[in-house]
Amino acid sequence: MSLDGYVADKNGRLDFFTHLSPQQNTYSDADQLRFLDTVDTILLGRKTYDLFVDFWPAANTETEVIADRLNEIDKVVLSGSLQQAPWGNWKAATVISGDAVQAIQRLKALPGKNIVLWGSISLVQLLVKEGLADELHIQLCPALTGGGRRLFEHEADFKQLKLMETRRYDTGTVFLSYALNSNND
């Protein structure tokens, strides 16, 4: 998220995040690997799947430390248009169409580790609205976009958040972890 509160710029791009510095891809590798060890399912919307599948299946650990771990984790794509979701030479993602809320409720009811949703702003908004998100992890970038797409629009319902963790990186990015607390404890 940019410092002025946008998760995509006016053109729908993420350049403000990906071009912070030459070290952007390595600033949190150890943290990302530790986080991925707590995850057994990656949830993606169709647009994020399209972005991820163009990059991650061919990535290797020499250039992207988390590549193998990210690629081996089961992926679920929520989409009304995809019939299949190949993932290069890795196991294909599972495609689920229909009611996203019911699909996510079923996934959350399964035993296992955590589920992470990357990108897919519409899905994030839906999960928070429906009380299906437990935590928000935000990387606050030292950039101003001057407009774009917000994580939550003005009509979002009030939610009480509890700050769980902060980390500062040399790039100036600040990692923020919030627990969503539906009963306002």
- Could you give the domains of the chain? 6-181 (3.40.430.10)
DSSP 58: G
Give 32's Cβ-side CA count (13 Å radius): 18
CA 49 – CA 66 distance, rounded (Å): 17
pLDDT of residue 156: 63
pLDDT in tens, the chain (185 residues): 999 989 888 888 777 765 554 455 455 778 888 999 999 999 999 999 998 999 999 999 988 889 999 999 999 999 999 999 999 999 999 999 999 999 999 999 999 999 999 888 889 988 988 989 999 999 898 889 889 888 887 666 677 899 999 998 888 889 999 998 655 44
**Mode of pairing for the β-strands spanning 85-87 and 39-45:** unpaired
Query: How many Cβ atoms sit within 10 Å of the Cβ of residue 65?
Result: 18
- Exposure letters 11-20 (e unless 16+ CB within 10 A, then b): eeebebbeeb
